[in-house]
Amino acid sequence: MPEIDGKPATFIRDDVEDVMFRDEEVRWHGGGAEGRGYVYPGRQMVAGNYPHPHAEVCEDYSGTGEWVANGRVLVCRGCGLDCT
């Protein structure tokens, strides 16, 4: 099983072939006035053109998300974090 900081990554998406995931570790979501949101170890970022380059600096706290991959993956509209 993949590890992050020496701990098992509990969420790895290998069931969605038509979505490209970025190979980067996500430690938290956001960091502005709303504070840092918890992210389960192993959550991935969907590749794409999002307003914020990383989840740690994302300022989208709307909670609305966007469904991609024919409704199989819910991503943050601000950074592309897989929120499924």
pLDDT of 1 over the 50 cut: no
Provide the whole-model pTM.
0.76
Residue spans of the domains in the chain: they are: 1-84
Q: Please enumerate in sequence order all residues whose Cβ is within 8 A of that of 31, keeping only pairs 6 or more positions apart, or say none.
A: 56, 57, 58
Residue 45 DSSP class: E
pLDDT of 9 over the 60 cut: no
State the amino acid at position 23 in one-letter form: D
Q: Please enumerate in sequence order all residues whose Cβ is within 8 A of that of 59, keeping only pairs 6 or more positions apart, or say none.
A: 30, 32, 52, 78
| pLDDT tens per residue across span 28-42 | 999 766 678 888 888
Q: What is the mean pLDDT of residues 63-70?
A: 87
